[in-house]
């Protein structure tokens, strides 16, 4: 069972070592150096950063949320990613659920983008109560459609 906790500065080099191996992250140009600098900036900016520990793995997942990243009023889940080799074991679900718990008070909706071809992630989010509320072509990468997904956390 994964333990979910806030990310510390010590976790950043650990995550930067595995995150670029995830093929989706390569597609979005996430090198180790870029991961390190983006996460360091996010930590300094007080973004909501959660990581996961397993008995034999420290910092093996990441949820990165901008609390007012959507329209300046709703949280935006910028990144949810789990280390290669341990996907499918519930770490992603545990990160998402812990994030929702932290946001549930005072935040109505949680938004995120999913690449059109990432049907496994779309299934994952749908199972967790998210639904597609829009689509944006070429927003992040040229020629790639991003689906906007959202879930209402509280009234």
Ligand X SMILES: CC(C)(COP(=O)(O)OP(=O)(O)OC[C@H]1O[C@@H](n2cnc3c(N)ncnc32)[C@H](O)[C@@H]1OP(=O)(O)O)[C@@H](O)C(=O)NCCC(=O)NCCS
Q: Which residues bind ligand X (CB under 6 A)?
A: 22, 24, 80-82, 87-93, 114, 118, 120-121, 123-124
Of 12 and 125, nearer to ligand X (C-beta) is 125
Residue nearest to ligand X as judged by C-beta position: 92
Of 82 and 103, nearer to ligand X (C-beta) is 82
Both tokens assigned to 111: 């938004």
**Cβ at position 155, least distance to ligand X in Å:** 26
**Cβ at position 4, least distance to ligand X in Å:** 12
Helix axes 32-44, 11-18, angle to 10 degrees: 150
**Cβ at position 138, least distance to ligand X in Å:** 17
Residue in this structure with the two tokens 């007080």, named with its chain if needed: 46
Cβ-Cβ contacts under 8 Å for 57 (sequence gap 6 or more) = 83, 86
**Cβ at position 73, least distance to ligand X in Å:** 21
Q: What end-to-end distance do the CA atoms of the chain give, in Å?
A: 30
Count Cβ atoms below 10 Å from residue 106 Cβ, excluding itself: 8
Of 67 and 90, nearer to ligand X (C-beta) is 90
Pairing of strands 109-115, 74-82: parallel
The C-alpha atoms of residue 86 and residue 73 are separated, in whole angstroms, by 34
Of 9 and 120, nearer to ligand X (C-beta) is 120
Of 55 and 105, nearer to ligand X (C-beta) is 55
**Cβ at position 51, least distance to ligand X in Å:** 13
């Amino acid at each position: 069972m994964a333990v979910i906790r806030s990310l510390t500065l010590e976790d950043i080099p650990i995550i930067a070592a595995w995150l670029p191996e995830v093929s989706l992250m390569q597609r979005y140009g996430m090198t180790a150096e870029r991961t390190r600098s983006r996460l360091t900036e996010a930590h300094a900016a007080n973004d909501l950063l959660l990581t996961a520990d397993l008995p034999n793995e420290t910092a093996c997942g990441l949820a990165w949320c901008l609390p007012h990243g959507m329209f300046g009023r709703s949280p935006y889940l910028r990144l949810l990613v789990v280390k290669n080799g341990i996907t499918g074991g519930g770490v992603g679900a545990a990160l998402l659920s812990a994030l929702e718990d932290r946001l549930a008070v005072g935040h109505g909706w949680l938004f995120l983008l999913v690449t059109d071809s990432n049907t496994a992630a779309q299934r994952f989010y749908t199972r967790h109560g998210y639904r597609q509320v829009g689509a944006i072509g070429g927003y992040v990468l040229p020629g790639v459609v991003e689906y906007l997904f959202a879930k209402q956390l509280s009234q």
